[in-house]
């Protein structure tokens, strides 16, 4: 029984991956909008599975809006936290 459960978690579910990625994209876009608007000076998004990839994807847009995206990777490539902040901070 334990072996079967381990096997299920070892194989990624494409639908769950899609939902998670969609959710994380929305979180990053929202954080960028909030910091760019001045509603927040900095936001830390935690527990992102795709945080490093999203930081690369949105880095140019963030820079144009005067922001930095700083990923904080977790050990063993398990995900990361992502700080969205103003460049002058």
pLDDT at 77: 77
3-state SS string for the chain: CHHHHHHHHHCCCHHHHHHHHHHHHHHHHHHHHHHHHCCCCEEEEEEECCHHHHHHHHHHHHHHCCEEEEEEECHHHCCEEEEEEECCC
Backbone phi, psi, residue 73, to 5° = -65, 145
pLDDT at 3: 47
pLDDT at 10: 63
CB-CB contact of 48 with 82 (8 Å): yes
pLDDT at 11: 76
CB-CB contact of 68 with 42 (8 Å): no
**Mean pLDDT by groups of 10 residues along the chain of 89 residues:** 50 90 98 97 96 96 97 88 92
């Amino acid at each position: 029984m334990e072996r079967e459960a381990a096997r299920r978690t070892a194989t990624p579910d494409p639908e769950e991956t899609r939902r998670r990625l969609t959710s994380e994209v929305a979180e990053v876009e929202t954080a960028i909008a909030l910091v760019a608007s001045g509603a927040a000076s900095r936001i830390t998004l935690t527990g992102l599975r795709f945080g490093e990839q999203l930081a690369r994807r949105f880095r140019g847009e963030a820079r144009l809006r005067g922001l930095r995206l700083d990923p904080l990777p977790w050990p063993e490539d398990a995900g990361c936290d992502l700080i969205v902040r103003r460049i002058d901070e």
